[in-house]
Chains A and B, each alone.
Chain A
Amino acid sequence: MQELVLNQPVSTARSELVREAAQADARREFEERLAECGPLAFRLARGVLRNTADAEDVAQEALLRAYKSFDRLRDHNKFRGWLVRISFRLALDRLRSAKRREQRDTLWAKPEHLPPPATAEDVAASNQFQAHLDRALEELPEKLRLVLLLSAMDGYTIEEIASMISVPLGTVKSRIFVARKKLAEKLRCYANNIKTR
């Protein structure tokens, strides 16, 4: 009994060492994934928020959350998909809160301070088209938006996207198709209409 009690501090110290070693391993493994997955988190957030500073904040927050829960992730090969979901969710939350803030500000703003309605020349301009595209993207359902953003990124095949978000390959393809069609419907009025006889 006495022997057991006297051994306790030693075993505590040993378990502490083991725990620290495990933490160091987890940190090293996370660092290895950081270089690859950091840009992915940023670009996804940037695709949703369309603002570099906000996207950087969201990416940092997503990576930090992922690091804190990294030891709870059973299959570390699913880290990329896991991080994608965290980043996308955080970006959407931030976008919603930004919208609420914007609506609050708009209520108090004077009508003459609002931007003038777009003219045909403005629409023709590429930056205006980008603005319309952003708005159309924002109106897409979340599932379609996520798949479309991932498919637009360099370096990820449709198979990889399917594995990343854990949906069948056919579902990814159909989501991309539907998303592009919806975008085209919204943006067609800003481009030349299809001339029909």
Chain B
Amino acid sequence: MLCEQYKDALIEVAAAGAAPQGELRAHLEGCASCRSAFAQEQSLFATIDSSLHASANSEVPSSLLPRVRVALNEAAASRLRLLHPVVLASAGVALAFAFFLIARPRHTSPENVAKQVPSIVRVPITQTESTNSQNISAESTEIAAVRVTHSHAARNSTNLHSVASSNPEVLVPPDEREGLARLVAVLNERSEVAAAFVVKAPQKDAVVTADPLQIPDIEIKPLEGTETETSDRASERN
């Protein structure tokens, strides 16, 4: 009965792999049976540990790493096989899009122009303007192409001398060029202002037609008062 109370303590000490201390140690010194039990318990744990160690450190087959490398290569190859059509397809789409952009017609239809932000400001050179600036010859007037768009590239563009451009051209005398540039800048910044410029103006050359007046036939009738007056005068003469 006395040894029974040390049983758990013995197992704990054996499981921890520690040496018995204090009262337990004193008991073991005086009790051969408990010493034997403790030795058996230590032996059990040692057997467990050695079996576990043998099992956990079993020799790794030499075929493992080459097998894994082959599997890795196959995995990489299959990934490439899956990826290749995607890359080819996306490259094809990109090329087709580029070709479409290059080959598309340059001129936009009038409907499209009207839908876009106002892009054309045409300033005709009138005779009065020519007379105001006498020193400006026809040759000296420069052709400016101004296009109002929302892209930064166009906004930053100062291509005022692009004679060969397909954009609409604006003839501006040199002294009005600065003002036009300011106007273009305003139009670029405020699209609603620009929109006001493209409101369709009435055409000056349009022929005005009017329906002819409809006049009904004139019917001539003798006046009633005149007839009675003449009869009265005739009776007076008589």
A→B interface (CB under 8 Å): 1-2, 5-6, 8-9, 12, 16, 23, 27, 30-31, 34-35, 38-39, 42-43, 46-47, 50, 52, 56, 59-60, 63-64, 67-68, 129-130, 133-134, 137, 148-149, 152-154, 177, 180-181, 183-184, 187-188, 191-192, 194-197
Contacts and interface: CB of A to CB of B under 8 A. Distances in A.
A80 B101 CA distance: 52
Main secondary structure of the interface of B (DSSP, over half): helix
Nearest to B65: A38
Interface of B: 1-4, 7, 10-12, 14-16, 31, 33, 36-37, 40-41, 43-45, 47-49, 51-53, 55-58, 60-61, 63-65, 67-69, 71-72, 75-76, 87, 90-91, 94-95, 97-98, 101-102, 151, 153
Contacts of A195: 33, 36-37, 40
A52 B16 CA distance: 31
A60 B15 contact: no
28 contacts: A1-B153, A39-B60, A42-B60, A42-B61, A43-B56, A52-B58, A64-B71, A67-B72, A133-B51, A133-B52, A133-B55, A148-B52, A152-B53, A152-B57, A153-B56, A154-B57, A177-B15, A177-B16, A180-B49, A181-B11, A181-B15, A191-B43, A194-B11, A194-B40, A195-B33, A195-B36, A195-B40, A197-B1
Given A38-B60, A67-B72, A56 B67 contact: yes
In the A-B complex, the 3 residue pairs with the smallest Cβ-Cβ separation, listed nearest first, are A152-B56, A152-B52, A194-B37
Nearest to A47: B56
Given A56-B63, A56-B67, A133-B51, A197 B58 contact: no
Given A16-B87, A154-B57, A194-B37, 7 more contacts: A47-B56, A129-B47, A153-B57, A177-B16, A194-B11, A195-B37, A196-B4
B5 to A, nearest CB: 10
Main secondary structure of the interface of A (DSSP, over half): helix
A181 B45 CA distance: 9
A59 B61 CA distance: 11
B47 A43 contact: no
A68 B7 CA distance: 52
B18 to A, nearest CB: 11
A9 B3 contact: no
Contacts of A133: 48, 51-52, 55
B3 A180 contact: no
A192 B37 CA distance: 9
Nearest to A155: B57
B65 A34 contact: yes
B71 A187 contact: no
